[in-house]
Amino acid sequence: MIRTILLGTLLTLSCLGFAALNHSETAFLDSAQKIEMQVSQFKAVLSHRDFIPKAVPYTLEGTITVYRHEGIVLLHTTDGRTFSLRKDKSSKFDPQDWHGRVVQVEGWAAESDELDEILVAKIKEIDPSAPVPPTEHVDFQRPAQLVSHVGQRWEVGNVRWGEEKPSTWETVTIDPSLIEKVYFAQKPFAKEKLVAHTFLVFRFKPGGAINNRGEETRSLVLSVEAYMRKSDKKLDLRKAAVKKEYPIVWMLSQWENYLTNACRDKSERLVLYPTAFSKEQSVSLLHEALQQATVNRAGEFYNTRRNNCTNNILILFNHVLSRPIPLWTIPGTIYNLRATNSTWATVLLRERGIIGESLPEINPTNYTKSL
C-alpha cells in the first residue's frame, strides 16, 4: 500500500528533489524506496507518542507532503531537514489540508532532543521565490558544527577560541575517552540574585581537545544561549518567556576564551560545581552534548521557561541518569521550575547528589589562576 501511494505522488515530490520527470526508471524506483523508508522510519518513531508537550518553539518553512493512508504529514525544509507535523487540538490549522504547498509552520517540539515531530499551531502559504534578507548575528556567537564523527572522536567546527580580541573560530578534534571531569557551572546575573546563566565545563586529560593548528585546551565549555542579532540592543529574557524573541544557539568555547571574556572583559563571576558522574557517565554525557550541540536548530527559539540554558543541561543529564529528573510538574501544562530555574535546579542537583559543593568563586581578581 505504501509503495502505491508513493509512486502516485512522485510527480508532486519532484520539486523536493526526490524525483524528476527526466529520471531513469532505476532512479525513479530508488526515490520511491527512499521515501518509503523515510515514512516507515517516522512511523516507528512516532507510534509511541500520545501527545506533544508545548516546550520548544519552532518556526519552519518548507513543502508539505501528506500520506493519508499512513496518517503521516511531513514537512521538507529547504535546508534538507524533514519533520513530522501533528495537528494541535486547540488549533484550526490541519496540516493534512496543505499537501504540496510551500508553507511557513509555527508550532512546538517536545524537547530539544526530540525534534522530529512538530505540534502545529499555525500554517500559512508563502512565496518560495520571495527574497529573504539574511539575519546578521553578533560576532561572539556561532552554532557548533559537526565536521566528522568517527569512532570515539568528534571533529567540531565553530569553537570559539583565544584569549585575545577578537576571538577566532576553530575546528577542534575532541576525544571523549579522555574526559577527566564534568562541572555544572553558573554565571550569576549582576542584578538578579536568583537567576544565573548555566553552562557545562568538560575537563580533559592531555590530548582531549586540540584544534587544527595543534593548539590544545584542557577544558571546553558548552553554553546554550539566546542567539543575539546585531540589531538587538540588549538581551531581554522576559520577552523570551512569552514570545519568539530570539533564536537558540548551542555554543562550544575554549575554557580560556570563556574565562577571559567573562571575568577580564565583563567583570563577571563564575561558580563551578563538580559533578558526581562516573567516567562512563561523563563520556556518555559528552557524546550526547556534542550530538545535541551540532544539531541544525534553524527555526528553533530560546524560551526562558521551557527551552533555556538550564533545562537543556538537565535534559542532557537525563541521558545518563538512572532516575531522570522530571521536566514537567503537570505534563504539557506546568513546567517543573526546579528543572528550569538556575537557582532551584542547583538545589535539586545537590539534593540528588548529582553535584557537590561549589568550588571557590572565579572572578576578575583571581581568574588567571584558573587558566
| Pairing mode, strands 248-254 and 153-161 | parallel
Distance between CA atoms of 12 and 183, rounded to whole angstroms? 51
Residue 224 pLDDT grade (very low, low, confident, very high; cuts 50, 70, 90) = very high
pLDDT one-digit tens code per residue, 21-59? 344 444 444 555 555 565 565 555 554 567 799 999 999
Report how far apart, in Å, the C-alpha atoms of 98 and of each of 1, 87, 107 are.
Answer: 22, 12, 15
Looking at residue 48, its pLDDT comes to: 52
- DSSP assignment, residue 324? P
Asked whether residue 235 carries a pLDDT value surpassing 50, the answer given is yes
If DSSP codes are grouped into helix, strand and coil, which group holds residue 203?
strand
Closest CA to 246 of 185, 301, 184: 301
Look at residue 291 in the predicted model and tell me its pLDDT: 99
Take residue 176 and report the three cell numbers written for it. 571523549
Give the orientation angle of helix 342-351 with respect to helix 309-318, to 10 degrees: 30
Question: What distance lies between CA 353 and its chain's CA centroid?
Answer: 26
Grid coordinates belonging to 327? 521536566
Percent of the chain with pLDDT over 70: 85
Nearest-5° angle of CA 302, CA 306, CA 312?
Answer: 80
Summary mean pLDDT of the chain: 88
pLDDT in tens, 81-130: 999 999 998 888 999 999 999 999 999 999 999 999 999 999 999 999 99
- The predicted model scores a pTM of 0.87
Give the range among 11-20, 61-70, 251-260 with minimum mean pLDDT. 11-20
The HSE-up count of residue 241 (CA atoms within 13 Å, CB side) is 7
Closest CA to 211 of 257, 165, 248: 257
Query: Which domains are present in the chain?
Result: 2-125 (2.40.50.500), 145-370 (no CATH)
